[in-house]
Amino acid sequence: MDNALNNIYILNTHIDINWYITMNPHNKKRSILELARKEKVVTTSEIARFLKVSWNTAESYLKDLVIEGKMIQKKKEGVNLWLIK
């Protein structure tokens, strides 16, 4: 393979790996758990800002974590609060 094509392949592979690391839902859920351990209680809006995703996407990740038995959801005065189980 010629050197220029090899460099493009390496660049594309690097971009694909970075995309996988940042966009993989498993990694995002792991980040949520790390933040929740640190902060003790988090809101959906805080998670959305932290992950740079929409509120709905953050809520979906959080609900997945509840289903997986890793987090607990509490409603207080119209706000969803999320805690590590």
Give me the residue label for tokens 């929409």: 54
Number of domain units in the chain: 1
Gyration radius of the chain's alpha carbons: 17
20-69 confidence digits (pLDDT tens):
445 566 789 999 999 999 999 999 999 999 999 999 999 999 999 999 99
* pLDDT recorded at residue 23: 59
Domain that holds residue 80: 3-84
Kind plus residue range of the DSSP H or E element containing 15? helix 3-23
Both tokens assigned to 57: 């996407």
* pLDDT recorded at residue 26: 76
Give me the residue label for tokens 């953050």: 58
Give me the residue label for tokens 């038995």: 69
Give me the residue label for tokens 């119209």: 78
CATH assignment at residue 11: 1.10.10.10
